[in-house]
């Protein structure tokens, strides 16, 4: 024989789990906005290299840069190639 209290408890847990899954799936379906231009530090993290290695590639002109005044930025699309 099924205990009515147990049935109510199971249904309550099922509702909670469904709500948690729905919230988690909603976060996964919404893509995070990522910046197009990265500074040297962000580019080093993105590529998994040191900042000095990125600066070396910039000075050798192996990586194209976007300059804004004195600031140096790298286009994410150039890093993905």
Considering the domain architecture, whether residues 42 and 59 belong to the same structural domain is answered as: yes
Q: Which of 46, 65, 69 is nearest to 57 (CA)?
A: 65
Residue 2 and residue 23 in one domain:
yes
pLDDT tens column, 20-72: 888 777 776 666 778 899 999 999 999 999 999 999 999 999 999 999 999 99
Domain total of the chain = 2
Burial of 38 (0-12, 13-18, 19+ CB in 10 A): buried
Structure confidence by residue, pLDDT tens digits, 10-20: 999 999 998 88
Task: Decide: helix, strand or coil at residue 61.
Answer: coil
Q: Are residues 46 and 28 in the same domain?
A: no
Task: Judge if 42 and 60 occupy the same domain.
Answer: yes
Residues 43 and 55 in one domain: yes
Give the separation between CA 29 and CA 17, rounded to whole angstroms: 18
By residue range, what is the domain housing residue 26? 1-33
Pinpoint the alpha helices (H) of 30-81. Answer: 40-47, 51-59, 76-80
């Amino acid at each position: 024989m099924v205990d009515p209290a147990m049935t109510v408890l199971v249904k309550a847990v099922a509702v909670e789990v469904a709500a948690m899954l729905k919230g988690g799936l909603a976060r996964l379906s919404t893509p995070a906005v990522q910046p197009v231009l990265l500074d040297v530090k962000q580019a080093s993290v993105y590529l998994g290299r040191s900042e000095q290695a990125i600066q070396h590639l910039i000075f050798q002109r192996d990586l194209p840069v976007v300059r804004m005044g004195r600031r140096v930025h790298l286009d994410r699309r150039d890093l993905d190639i």
